């Protein structure tokens, strides 16, 4: 059983690579990504449902992504490692403070980080306070983005109807304008602003692959 579990990240990485290599990819909003890169440190924000395809499109991007301390999170972290994406282990229920400090330290060093604002357990497409607090404390802008593939499996019983992309698909990645959180800003309002941006990006990506 342990040997099988150890093989899962390699199988997942091979599968995602097959998806990426056979996809017909369209990218929109690249100017927002370039603006984020010019800023140095920034925060990728994307819905938990769409995270799989990003392990292909953002391999070697230099980011560290918040991943839960669950057993599933361990498999995700190992798969990300194969894609040269770092993992900070923690969530709102386990190790969140330590993981938040890791992300804050990375931002202070001028490096990008990534967060699924509705993860790891939802509610789906609802922005939790952590990403807004991190942006306010660090001064780093948030880059909202989403993705879609025309061929996918939807895990209907999962809390967010998780998407597993399939090979030979039309694919899209959409970036929205940067969101900045100043010390005096209303954090609840900024959470709604981020949710609206993520929903727009998701709807746009879905239209591009329809």
d(CA 151, CA 171): 9
pLDDT of residue 100: 85
Coil, strand or helix at 115: strand
Tokens of 173: 């990645």
Q: pLDDT tens for residues 153-181? A: 999 999 999 999 999 999 999 999 999 99
Residue 158 DSSP label: S
The pTM assigned to this predicted structure is 0.93
Residue 23 has pLDDT above 90, yes or no: yes
Taking the C-alpha atoms of residue 87 and residue 100, their distance in angstroms, rounded to an integer, is: 12
Where do the structural domains in the chain lie, given as residue ranges?
A: 2-209
Higher pLDDT, 207 or 93: 207
Tokens of 11: 């199988």
What is the tens place of the pLDDT at every residue in 81-137? 999 999 988 765 555 678 888 999 999 999 999 999 998 889 999 999 999 999 999
Give me the pLDDT at residue 91, please: 60
CA Rg value for the chain = 16
pLDDT at residue 68, as a whole number:
81
Q: Phi, psi (5° rounding) for residue 176? A: -105, 165
Q: How confident is the model at residue 140 (pLDDT cuts 50, 70, 90)?
A: very high
Tens digit of each residue's pLDDT (9 = 90 or more) over 43-57: 999 999 999 999 999
Dihedral (CA of 187, 193, 197, 199) sign: positive
Q: Return d(Cα 150, Cα 105) in angstroms, integer.
A: 37
User: What is the pLDDT confidence band of residue 1, given thresholds at 50, 70 and 90?
Assistant: low
Enumerate residues 6+ apart whose C-beta is below 8 A from 113.
Answer: 41, 43, 44, 63, 64, 65, 66, 88, 103, 106, 107, 134, 140
Lowest mean pLDDT among 18-27, 28-37, 66-75, 133-142: 66-75
Exposed, middle or buried: residue 144 (CB in 10 Å: 0-12, 13-18, 19+)?
Answer: buried
Residue whose C-alpha is closest to residue 55's, from 76, 83, 96, 28 = 83
Q: What does DSSP assign to residue 179?
A: B
CATH number assigned to the domain with residue range 2-209, chosen from the 4 options 1.10.540.10, 3.50.50.60, 1.10.240.10, 3.40.1130.10: 3.40.1130.10
Taking phi over 0 as left and psi of -120 to 50 as alpha, with beta for the rest, 125 belongs to left
Q: Which pLDDT score, from 0 to 100, does residue 94 have?
A: 54
């Amino acid at each position: 059983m342990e040997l099988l579990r150890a093989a899962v990240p390699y199988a997942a990485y091979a599968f995602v690579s097959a998806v990426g290599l056979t996809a017909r990819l369209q990218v929109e909003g690249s100017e927002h990504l370039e603006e984020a890169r010019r800023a140095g440190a920034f925060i990728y924000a994307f819905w938990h449902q769409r995270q799989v395809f990003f392990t292909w499109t953002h391999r070697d991007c230099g980011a560290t992504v918040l991943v839960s301390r669950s057993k599933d999170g361990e498999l995700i972290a190992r798969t990300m490692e194969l894609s040269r994406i770092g993992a900070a282990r923690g969530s709102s229920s386990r190790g969140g403070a330590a993981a938040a400090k890791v992300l804050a330290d990375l931002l202070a060093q001028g490096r990008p980080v990534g967060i699924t604002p509705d993860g790891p357990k939802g509610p789906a497409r609802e922005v939790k306070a952590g990403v807004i607090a991190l942006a306010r404390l660090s001064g780093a802008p948030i880059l909202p983005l989403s993705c879609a593939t025309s061929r996918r499996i939807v895990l209907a019983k999962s809390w967010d109807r998780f998407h597993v992309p399939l090979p030979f698909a039309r694919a899209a990645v959409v970036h929205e304008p940067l969101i900045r959180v100043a010390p005096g800003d209303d954090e609840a309002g900024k959470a709604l602003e981020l949710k609206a941006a993520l929903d727009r990006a998701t709807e746009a990506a879905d239209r591009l692959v329809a």
